[in-house]
Structure 1
Amino acid sequence: MSDTSSSFNKNAHSLQSWWEDAQLALVFLTRIPWTIKGELPANALNRAVRAFPAVGLLVGALGACVFGLAQGVGLPALACGLFAVLSCVLLTGALHEDGLADVADGFGGGRDKARKLEIMRDSRVGSYGVLAMVIAVGLRVSLLGGFEDWTLAAGALVGVSAFSRIAPVLMLYTMEPARTDGLAAKMERPDQTIVWQGVALAVGVLWVCVPFSALLMTLIVSGAALYAFRKLAQSQIGGHTGDVCGASQQIIEIVALAALAAQL
């Protein structure tokens, strides 16, 4: 990628700018050792958030391939789901799962805002965090294993993986930072156009991957869940953090999978 900073400022709607954003989002959200050449401006991630669903599409595609291979060799449905979820977790380095665990520990164990934020910053995982991760993984595995047709499960995994990656972007856009330091606090609020581009990409991928008959209810249920979690985060710590953003992805992935599993 050449002359990144100039194209970042002048050609935000060009294919080159989308490619740049996709690369930065890939590096930020996964463990793939991709090297970005050129100098990035300080606000690069604020625009790259629109490409988060594209990275989710890649993560979900890997999980779907693993799910299909496991199904092909005759493994039980729950084992297929477990291998699929495991592959996604390995690709992302459990980035969002870690956020969910920290939020569970902070919200569950802190008496006030300061203590909650302190617990969330602690690298150690407590009882609430362990339970949250076990439940989150267990729900995703069981939901994937519950689809009658494995192709529906694979499609749902791809679509939901992309769709759920817009949740952190919406949290950044609709909330103020809960603390004055940290990556989430240093990021500026994403531009409205950038957010809507990301939303369109997320919903578009979900639309392609799942039956249209199940789309509307999935969007409604997921929107309600994200709104409820946003209200919870606001009441608990007064805003967003990186952990809150990561947890929002996990919540929407689980809720969207559940909505699809109930309809298909």
Structure 2
Amino acid sequence: MNGLWFALAFLTRLPTPALDFSDSAAQARALAWYPLVGLLIGALLLALATLLQWLHAPAPLAAACVLALWVWLSGGLHLDGLADCADAWAGGHGQRERILQILKDPAAGPMGVVAIVLVLLLKFAALQALLTQGPLLLLAPVLGRVAAVALFLSLPYVRAGGLGAHLTQAPRGACLAAAWLSAVSCLFFGWPGVAALAAAIGVFMHWRSDCHQRLGGFTGDAAGAAIERVEAAAVVAAALALALVQHG
């Protein structure tokens, strides 16, 4: 269970028991729990959306509240990674060392701000369409965390001593099982689930290729960016597929 607590501590602002951060083995086991943490986040979003529907809140207000909770639950950590990568990709001019240097800079540049605004705007718009289809809110947070798992399984972690360094020692079998189970579960959500999974895979593969080309691996910021990119792609694809099903 320590792995789960570490996963919650790494990915959310939810309270956890006191953790021994010298326990590198427990930190490594946390990676396999990432999809379950995503499911918990989705469940909390679903609970809020259900409450707001019961209160007959207008769709834009309800979507804004759900999105605010979504951002709060992660403490904006993944959005920070998205912004850092956007700035580094734009300012690094393809030079690996320059990109890594920019990734260390805590300040957000114009490209980072634009990236955050666009991702939040996409999520906000898509959430309005999904509020009445509550269970679909579970998909994006899970697929986002699966993307982080897939990065650790498929690319080298290039930041020695970074926050994710211990996760490179995660048990591969457990991580693969969690990722495959999460992917297969999407099929039970009908066409919106299939669309969300397809979009998540497409965006992940593009981002993985980009990270490999520019960095020869990935960093914690790149993992956070992967989560945000995949979440946005999944929620938008689910919303579009839902619209096609309803009007087809």
- The two structures share one fold, judged by TM-score above 0.5: yes
Task: Give, in angstroms, the shift of residue 188 of structure 1.
Answer: 2.4
Aligned equivalent of 2:201, options 214, 223, 239: 223
Indicate whether 1:123 and 2:106 are aligned: yes
Matched-pair identity in %: 29
**Maintained 8 Å contact 2:147/2:204:** yes
Which residue is equivalent to 1:249? 227
Q: In 2, distance between residues paired with 1:100 and 1:39?
A: 26
CA 39–193 in structure 1, closer or farther in 2 if over 3 Å, else same: same
Indicate whether 1:236 and 2:239 are aligned: no
Q: Which secondary structure state, in structure 1, belongs to the residue aligned with residue 164 of structure 2?
A: helix
**Maintained 8 Å contact 2:3/2:29:** yes
Which residue is equivalent to 2:5? 23
Task: Give, in angstroms, the shift of residue 37 of structure 1.
Answer: 5.7
Aligned equivalent of 1:203, options 166, 183, 186: 183
Which residue is equivalent to 1:138? 121
Task: Give, in angstroms, the shift of residue 36 of structure 1.
Answer: 3.8
Q: In 2, distance between residues paired with 1:109 and 1:191?
A: 36
**Maintained 8 Å contact 2:8/2:14:** yes
Task: Give, in angstroms, the shift of residue 23 of structure 1.
Answer: 1.6
Deviations 1:109-152 (A, max 9, x none): 123111111111111111111111111111001011134xx331
Deviations 1:35-69 (A, max 9, x none): 14668631322221111111111211222222222
Count of equivalent residues:
241
Q: In 1, distance between residues paired with 2:15 and 2:200?
A: 32
Q: In 2, distance between residues paired with 1:232 and 1:186?
A: 23
Q: Which secondary structure state, in structure 2, belongs to the residue aligned with residue 80 of structure 1?
A: helix
Q: Which secondary structure state, in structure 2, belongs to the residue aligned with residue 124 of structure 1?
A: coil
Task: Give, in angstroms, the shift of residue 219 of structure 1.
Answer: 2.1
Gaps of 5+ in 1: 1-18
CA 244–164 in structure 1, closer or farther in 2 if over 3 Å, else same: same
Indicate whether 1:184 and 2:164 are aligned: yes
Q: In 2, distance between residues paired with 1:75 and 1:216?
A: 29
